[in-house]
Amino acid sequence: MQSNNRHWPPHELTPHKRDFFYVGGHYQQTDAQSASIMVGQIYVEHLTPLKVTRPYPIVILPGSCLTGAHFLNTPDGGPGWADYFLSEGYEVYLVDLPSRGRSPWHPEQDGPRFVFDSKFAQEMFTATQITKKWPQAGLLTQWPGNGTKGDAIFDAFYASISPSLTSGKELAQKTTDGVVALLDKLPGPCILLTHSQSGQFGWSIADRRPSQVKGIIAIEPGGPPFISVSFPPFGSVVRPFGMTEIPVEFDPPCDPTSATPIPMHTGPEIDGFACTLQASPARKLKNLVNIPVLMVTAEASYHAQYDWCSAQFLKQAGVQVDHVQLSSVGIRGNGHLMYMEKNSNQIAAEVLQKWLEGQRLV
């Protein structure tokens, strides 16, 4: 994922060791007598700096139709967040979600996949200032190049897009199972870094293994609570457990078989967006209350409309959330793909690393 039109000068990447492995998955019988194949396993790329100086590795989960490769470098040839964290002394684990990228897809067992088209990518991610589909969209200035089809940097980005499972619920369950298997393989706890679609998986993974997750960095996590507002089916309840499609543990418990396991209540409204929260008394996300969370929102992203509501839901459920809107700390012009943009390392250093230091996770 790199164009020939480089925004960045040639640079030396942080020296490191690289290996890869697969985790999770199970054997499933095929139509052939006594024959079976493995399904559900995930690809993990493990990067280790020559000198590890940080106690907890960073486990990175990409967003929809993206892969771990998107964190290796930016589409204009700059160093990605993986290199930034290596330079800071962290081990890094890059995950390809189930049935995507280098994680195998078996059509008959895994079901259909989809991929977003170039028009969608331009309007939602890379050239939002042209169509201005939401109030903040015109503020995008940090995407390298003009963000449209035919631009070398956009084409390099779009060429890297990978089909993703159509069923969000199936992907959530398989990702949670696979990454839990990864956490069980690690020698100690980790820090989860999620983006967009994988944000909801971070909550369910930490719910399953709270002692193995020291902190969560949620880059514009899938939201808002309960209701779909940015993608079809618009206005429908797509996350019945608030921030997840699959069950997580609440206190008091909820009935995961119910059509509405968590009673909802329309809460505060900001700039025309009405936030749906839990009805009172709110249940607590019992396994997440001791895990600090950093939520990061870009100035020009469609998430600028509602990430505040996602943070409200988590706080209502007892989760320790620091919500940083980049514009509030003087970082302007970013979109949903902030880690691919011109000032990506500024965000990593001044927001992510600063928060980790403040939480004493370094």
205-235 tens-digit pLDDT: 999 999 999 999 999 999 999 999 888 788 8
Mark whether 196 is an active-site residue: yes
- How far lies 36's CA from each of 26, 39, 102, 115, 258, in Å? 10, 10, 20, 28, 35
For residue 3, is pLDDT > 80? no
pTM: 0.96
Domains of the chain with bracketed CATH: 16-237+286-358 (3.40.50.1820)
**What DSSP designation does 211 have?**
G
Q: Which of 103, 196, 204, 344 is catalytic?
A: 196
* Predicted local confidence at residue 231, as pLDDT: 82
Looking only at the bridges linking them, the beta strands covering 293-297 and 213-219 are parallel
* Predicted local confidence at residue 117, as pLDDT: 97
Report the mean per-residue pLDDT for the chain: 95
Mean pLDDT calculated for residue range 78-96 = 98
Mean pLDDT calculated for residue range 168-172 = 97
* Predicted local confidence at residue 9, as pLDDT: 55
Mean pLDDT calculated for residue range 108-131 = 97
Asked if residues 242 and 279 have their Cβ atoms less than 8 Å apart, the reply is no
- Percent of the chain at pLDDT exceeding 70: 97
Of 14-23, 24-33, 313-322, the range with the lowest mean pLDDT is 24-33
* Predicted local confidence at residue 4, as pLDDT: 52
* Predicted local confidence at residue 19, as pLDDT: 98
Looking only at the bridges linking them, the beta strands covering 213-219 and 190-195 are parallel
262-286 tens-digit pLDDT: 999 998 899 889 999 999 999 999 9
Confidence band for 53, pLDDT divided at 50, 70 and 90: very high
